[in-house]
Amino acid sequence: MTAPITTEATRCPECGTEIAPGFLACPSCKRLVHGAELKRLAEAAESAATAGNLTGALASWREVMHLLPPDSRQYDTIATKVAELSRQVDAVGAPAHPKEKPSWAARWGVLGGVAVLFWKLKFVLGFLLTKGKLLLLGLTKGSTFFSMALSLGVYWRLFGWKFAVGVIVSIYIHEMGHVAMLTRFGIHATAPMFIPGFGAMIRSRYYPKDVVADARVGLAGPMWGLATAVVAYLVYLLTDIPAWGAIAEVGAWINLFNLLPVWQLDGAHGYRALNRHQRWLATAAIAAMWYWTAEGLLVLLLIGSAAVAWFGTPAEHPDRRTLIEYTLLIVALSLLTTIPVPVGALR
């Protein structure tokens, strides 16, 4: 029933009851405190939707929700509208339609979908390059720039400047993947704040409640991170400079760790959109890649995935795309961790 907008006690113009700071509705007559602002935001949302700006409409409706009491009928109505708009936004950026997939992909089921995503990795890389404006915008934030410089100094002293710069850029792009997806779903997020030795974090006013949107945001970071690791690996192949191979391998390891389906890690957000059967399929993929690569981190993922598949609450409406994206990430990142980097590559 509270929000940080009203800072002084006021009286309800309807019944005269004094309304404490932060209340969203009159405790007596239930009149909404921010009626004028709610009307303005609703008009902005409708205008954006009419113009085809679904992200803008989502952003306005989310602000409306923030000004409504969570136990009100209006809140439920807007929550339903937000969920529907989120599905529309997700559909706009969905992978190619089934008719555009090769026939062999349709016959191979999930494995075919994974192969198609590998085939289309060039589109992921192209997407990353087109987001240059967003990536540069994040660097204009003082907290991001200075915390990044501090982390850079720490890694530079430990591992040398080439590796330090590569790892910092990899972490930054990973976090900006989350920012980009949150923005797409109409949620403002801060630029990354770096914590030396622990990576980076972003903050947002709220998080998607729809499990599919939650999964998209969660896996966006590793997807952008994968693209970054692939670029580093390609540069390594072209230049034979060991530092690039180390950057690709460590970047892959960091993103693979984030796929743990526990706590607030990215994998946990992805698993919320999977049912029990899909979670066991993901677990099988992890087991297969552990057998293939002998990457020790995969043992930890295997334990976490099996625990969540067995004990966790499955999604009521599972999302096939989330399973495909998660499987792609497991396979690709696991393979990248096997890059043979010479001793001394960090320098």
- pLDDT (tens digit, 9 = 90+) per residue, 149-174? 888 888 888 888 888 888 899 999 99
Same domain, residue pair 66 and 113 = no
Same domain, residue pair 54 and 152 = no
Rg (CA), the chain: 23
By the 8 A CB rule, do 21 and 45 touch? Answer: no
Query: Among residues 42, 74, 92, which one ends one of the domains?
Result: 92
- The residue type of 127 is F
| Paired tokens of 183 | 């923005």
Same domain, residue pair 180 and 290 = yes
For residue 109, is it within any domain?
Answer: yes
Q: Mean pLDDT throughout 59-70?
A: 88
CATH at 72: 1.20.58
Alpha helices by DSSP H, listed for the chain, are 35-50, 54-66, 73-92, 103-108, 110-119, 121-130, 132-139, 142-159, 161-184, 211-239, 242-257, 266-271, 276-293, 297-311, 320-336
By the 8 A CB rule, do 243 and 166 touch? Answer: yes
Res 344: pLDDT:
60
Q: Mean pLDDT throughout 231-257?
A: 92
Same domain, residue pair 186 and 238 = yes
Same domain, residue pair 250 and 142 = yes
Reference 312, options 301, 304, 322, 300; nearest CA is: 304
Same domain, residue pair 118 and 53 = no
Instruction: Tell me the pLDDT band of 289, cut-offs 50, 70 and 90.
Output: very high
Taking residue 16's Cβ as centre, other Cβ atoms within 10 Å add up to 10
Same domain, residue pair 70 and 197 = no
Whether the pLDDT of residue 42 is over 60: the answer is yes
For residue 16, is it within any domain?
Answer: no
| Paired tokens of 83 | 């969920």
Q: Is the pTM of this model over 0.85?
A: no
By the 8 A CB rule, do 242 and 284 touch? Answer: no
For residue 12, is it within any domain?
Answer: no
Q: Looking at per-residue confidence, does 277 or 347 come out higher?
A: 277
Same domain, residue pair 83 and 102 = no
By the 8 A CB rule, do 259 and 327 touch? Answer: no
Whether the pLDDT of residue 145 is over 50: the answer is yes
Whether the pLDDT of residue 335 is over 70: the answer is yes
Res 286: pLDDT:
98
Whether the pLDDT of residue 81 is over 80: the answer is yes
Range of the domain at 249: 98-336
Same domain, residue pair 103 and 77 = no
For residue 345, is it within any domain?
Answer: no
Same domain, residue pair 133 and 85 = no
Same domain, residue pair 155 and 128 = yes
| Paired tokens of 106 | 């349709």
Whether the pLDDT of residue 3 is over 80: the answer is no
**Burial, 69: exposed, middle or buried (Cβ in 10 Å; 0-12, 13-18, 19+)?**
middle
Count: domains in the chain = 2
In whole angstroms, give the CA distance from residue 46 to residue 277: 39
Max avg pLDDT among 30-44, 109-123, 240-254, 320-334: 320-334
Query: Among residues 68, 92, 116, which one ends one of the domains?
Result: 92
Q: Looking at per-residue confidence, does 112 or 139 come out higher?
A: 139
For residue 188, is it within any domain?
Answer: yes
For residue 176, is it within any domain?
Answer: yes
For residue 20, is it within any domain?
Answer: no
Query: Among residues 66, 92, 118, which one ends one of the domains?
Result: 92
For residue 104, is it within any domain?
Answer: yes
Same domain, residue pair 279 and 144 = yes
